[in-house]
Structure 1
Amino acid sequence: MTENPARLFLGSCFPSRFSTVPNGAEAEFHYPLSGCDFRRTSTWKYLVYENKLTYRPLPKPSPPSFTYPIICVNDRPKGWTPAFASSSVGAIQGHGVLDFHMAILNHDFSGPAESSVFPMGSFVPIWAGVNQQAHQPLVLLLEECVASTTLEIYPETITYPLIANKGCLVDGKKSLSKFLPRYHSSSILLHLQAFRFAIGEEVYVHCKLIAWDPDNLSDVKKACNYNQTTGAWELLDDPFQSSLCQCCDSTCGVRGKRDTDSAPQGLVLKSVLGPLTFTEGSA
């Protein structure tokens, strides 16, 4: 048990689920030994899987506050032999199944939200992540998020834009909404300030999640905050590359870059959160 279980990582994997317990919250991990960057070694009698459980109370590049070794020992199956790569040269990149998650947490991201009602001025803490398993390292991005009063979006549905233009947090231009510093590349934290859309009604947040190559960020694959002090857009993952966000006030991706759905670097998933209810009054 820890104060902020959302900041626990088993190798490259974040918790499968959170649960509330007396005096705190717990994080649970449910993954195969083939995932989460487990390292496998073998002896004449055993298969040994090793990993590390880390806790990051502060975002990278700050080091973990603790690291705990995880060792799983299984009897070596009769006749088992290790698998070898078929190619004698070059690098092998994994493209295993990606497992996306998205949830609304409590105010300090330490566990599941206790209420779906948010007064005006308060923040909706949104957490999203992708379990990479055997896939090459990826960074999670929110390409688009809109709010609506319906679980499904139809052509006539009225929506309220939150994230648009390929990763620009447009709601941050008129509120205090912002992406928070990352604790891990495969997850993202969003402080979404309660907004005046459908006050008192059920509201759903529809998002498009992308798992992408962290070395291939561009003006169409990014996460950008609006700095109200300077009036400039800033790239969450590297402020020195904030030029990728310059298109946020116009149109990003006008050069016709290849669509994510057909690109090998990542995968796209649509997710819906809610229902939420925003109420008059301050937090």
Structure 2
Amino acid sequence: MMASLWFCVLFWGLVAAFLVNAEMKLDCRPDYVTLVWKESRSQADTALFRLGSCFPNSFTAGEAIFSVELDDCNFRRMVTGNNLTYTNELTYSSASGSVVPPSTYPVVCRYDRPQDWYPLVYDPVFNTYGQEDLVFHMELMNDDFSGPAESTSFPLGSLIHITASVEQQNHQPLLLLLDKCIAATTPELQPDSYLYPIITNKGCLVDSKVTRSKFEPRQKTSELNLSLQAFRFAVGEAVFIHCNLVAWDPNGLDKTKKACNYVDNQGWELLDNPSYSSLCDCCESRCRSRKTRSLGSSGSHGVEQRAVLGPLTIIGLNS
């Protein structure tokens, strides 16, 4: 989404005490933000700083460092005219009895609105999204992926079968990937949305580390099937699964364009070619982003599209 953006940083006015006591360096990149807070008050515990809902990636006695994606940490997105603005707060939660008071500082990144950006479209259960001459699909499926699911209610621990696909039409053969998926209690992500990570870090199925969730073997390069174990999340409530779909050049796989399962006693494995599972090594740290251009651009490799699936319901064992 952020591929064609130039970026700049906008700081809102801060109180004089902030300017005297600390320094904040904010670097707004196309897909992520790096924030370094340097604290001069010796009594302040830098581990107590938060960027939205995120803890510092690292901290010392006088410094807290955050490196996070714009889709994380409860960043709020606002589109006005040709501007796309992400806002958040850096907060300090003072420990009991501390002489350093709690505080909040605004964090703002402003970009040019990308020409191909459109608001999220929501339809229940089955979604179709078009971009250029590509058409993306997501759907709940039955147990063998041969047809649509007969129910949108899933007992805790059962498998939720999801298929994602892209109709390629006049394009060269493409590989369909799920770049990121999170479960939420709202059809549109809000700062107060209750969230559960499923796929993060550019194609790492993190849920497979703790459940039976897995990417299924491919039948077509243009399709990707996911078996997701119904997790203890918002049990009995409406759940929506938000995903970023990527149609990509099959010869262009790297650490930012991949599908990785976690296999017990083996570690991370690349779905499409296990002999190149080293591409999944970054799943335990950070898989660096790179720009994604439109397939209509010269020398480009792929295109991304956001989608949402739901509502579905996870049923408790005693329900």
| Same-fold call, TM cutoff 0.5 | yes
2:281 counterpart (239, 246, 253): 246
Q: Distance in 1 between matches of 2:168 and 2:201?
A: 26
TM-score normalised to structure 1 length: 0.63
- How far the C-alpha of 1:107 sits from its partner, in A, is 1.0
Structure 1 residue aligned with 2:306: 270
TM-score normalised to structure 2 length: 0.56
Q: Distance in 2 between matches of 1:200 and 1:240?
A: 41
1:107 counterpart (143, 147, 150): 143
Structure 2 residue aligned with 1:123: 159
- The answer to whether the 8 A contact 1:168-1:245 is kept is yes
Count of residues in Structure 1 that have an aligned counterpart in Structure 2? 185
* Residue 258 (structure 1) aligned with residue 294 (structure 2): no
1:183 counterpart (193, 199, 219): 219
SS in 2 for 1:110: coil
Structure 1 residue aligned with 2:251: 215
Unaligned runs of 5+ in 2: 1-130
Q: Distance in 2 between matches of 1:249 and 1:176?
A: 19
Q: Distance in 2 between matches of 1:270 and 1:150?
A: 15
Structure 2 residue aligned with 1:133: 169
- The answer to whether the 8 A contact 1:96-1:135 is kept is no
- The answer to whether the 8 A contact 1:96-1:134 is kept is no
- The answer to whether the 8 A contact 1:96-1:133 is kept is no
Which deviates the most, 258-267 or 159-168?
Answer: 258-267
Q: Distance in 2 between matches of 1:101 and 1:192?
A: 17
Structure 2 residue aligned with 1:142: 178
Which amino acid in structure 2 is aligned with residue 238 of structure 1? N
1:224 counterpart (247, 251, 260): 260
- The answer to whether the 8 A contact 1:96-1:132 is kept is no
- The answer to whether the 8 A contact 1:116-1:275 is kept is yes
- The answer to whether the 8 A contact 2:292-2:301 is kept is no
| Structural RMSD (CA) | 1.8
Q: Distance in 2 between matches of 1:115 and 1:238?
A: 33
Distance 1:261 1:143, change over 3 A: farther
* Residue 170 (structure 1) aligned with residue 206 (structure 2): yes
Q: Distance in 2 between matches of 1:245 and 1:147?
A: 22
Q: Distance in 1 between matches of 2:308 and 2:291?
A: 25
SS in 1 for 2:251: coil
Q: Distance in 2 between matches of 1:261 and 1:156?
A: 32
- The answer to whether the 8 A contact 2:292-2:303 is kept is no
* Residue 197 (structure 1) aligned with residue 197 (structure 2): no
Structure 2 residue aligned with 1:97: 133
Structure 2 residue aligned with 1:82: none
Which amino acid in structure 2 is aligned with residue 140 of structure 1? L
Q: Distance in 1 between matches of 2:174 and 2:198?
A: 23
SS in 2 for 1:281: coil
